[in-house]
Chain A
């Protein structure tokens, strides 16, 4: 069965959880989120979990599967090394999240993401899940610099 494309196919946020993305899409179309979960996923026998099929999600949002997998860590194949990621989904900095329409954005962040270097917000523990703390105080600039250095180190 060919799935029709949604009329408001917003992009996923980087590192967004599937639940968050589908909830935002549903909210934008005035749908109950079950109405989106069901066509794009299938149940796992014996559990209440559902497995999302990336090609089906790609069809309803009209975006390539690779692009979705790059943004949504749960769709990556092979799966990421979850030991390097936090267990709890969380918002990012309020200014990064404000770009995305359809309600709050929940993301899974790797452990080494402590600071939004672009908008200068602390997004690491213990703040995760609470209103983010801004780091625009000149005394705190070394924290931002440390995150930049850390990110560079991780890329090597």
Chain B
């Protein structure tokens, strides 16, 4: 798998360098974009790259000339590499990613999969959330951690993170670091309480508490 992010105010060369950097290829200032793209395609084909994830796609502005060139460069990679491409970004439709000639080209090649926060309404949704927490728990390396004790806090974790995977990982990671620092080596609700989460999750939690549990949970779904 190959993972790149579209840099802010990207040019086609910057994008090609991002691909090269992920592969561990460095270039002198003399290398031109064709050299870089050739090396990337050659190396990716030899290392059998099957999946290319392009993140922060909302940094791509098709209305500017540089943005249009980046889009063309991505299309060129997609044509040369025998891999599946996944683009990820925030509000890509609103960012004009499907507008104009190039936008229509992107729209004609990709399926849109909307991604939202995890929900906690139906039992199936809760099961999915618990599976996510369990996966995260399995990556913990705490000496005295009892498997399943984090999953038992699933509702609490949902309330704190607002169903956002990024907030959940921040929360669990923060508590794990505290557990290592204080020597307890196990995850407890007291530790999780100390860890601050991001502003968005904090705000969502406050709104939900004010409205009362059940309705808010449905709204989040």
Residue numbers of A with Cβ under 8 A of B are: 3-8, 28-32, 34-35, 38-39
By the criterion CB–CB under 8 Å, are B42 and A5 in contact?
no
By the criterion CB–CB under 8 Å, are B26 and A35 in contact?
yes
By the criterion CB–CB under 8 Å, are B38 and A4 in contact?
no
Shortest distance from the beta carbon of B102 to any chain A beta carbon, whole Å: 27
8 contacts between A and B (CB under 8 A): A3-B26, A30-B40, A30-B41, A30-B43, A31-B39, A34-B28, A35-B25, A35-B27
CA distance A31 to B38 in the complex (A): 8
Partner pick for A35 among B23, B31, B40, B47, CB 8 A cutoff: B31
Q: Secondary structure at chain B's binding surface: helix, strand, loop or mixed?
A: helix
CA distance A32 to B39 in the complex (A): 9
Instruction: Identify the 3 closest CB pairs spanning chains A and B, nearest first.
Output: A30-B42, A4-B24, A30-B39
CA distance A139 to B74 in the complex (A): 63
Instruction: Enumerate chain A residues within 8 angstroms of B24, measured Cβ to Cβ.
Output: 4-7
Instruction: Enumerate chain B residues within 8 angstroms of A34, measured Cβ to Cβ.
Output: 28, 30
Closest A residue to B39 using CB positions: A30
By the criterion CB–CB under 8 Å, are A7 and B47 in contact?
yes
Partner pick for A29 among B21, B28, B30, B39, CB 8 A cutoff: B39
Instruction: Enumerate chain A residues within 8 angstroms of B27, measured Cβ to Cβ.
Output: 35
Instruction: Enumerate chain B residues within 8 angstroms of A29, measured Cβ to Cβ.
Output: 25, 39, 42-43, 46
Instruction: Enumerate chain A residues within 8 angstroms of B47, measured Cβ to Cβ.
Output: 7-8
Instruction: Enumerate chain A residues within 8 angstroms of B40, measured Cβ to Cβ.
Output: 30
- Does chain A have a CB within 8 A of B35? yes
Shortest distance from the beta carbon of A66 to any chain B beta carbon, whole Å: 23
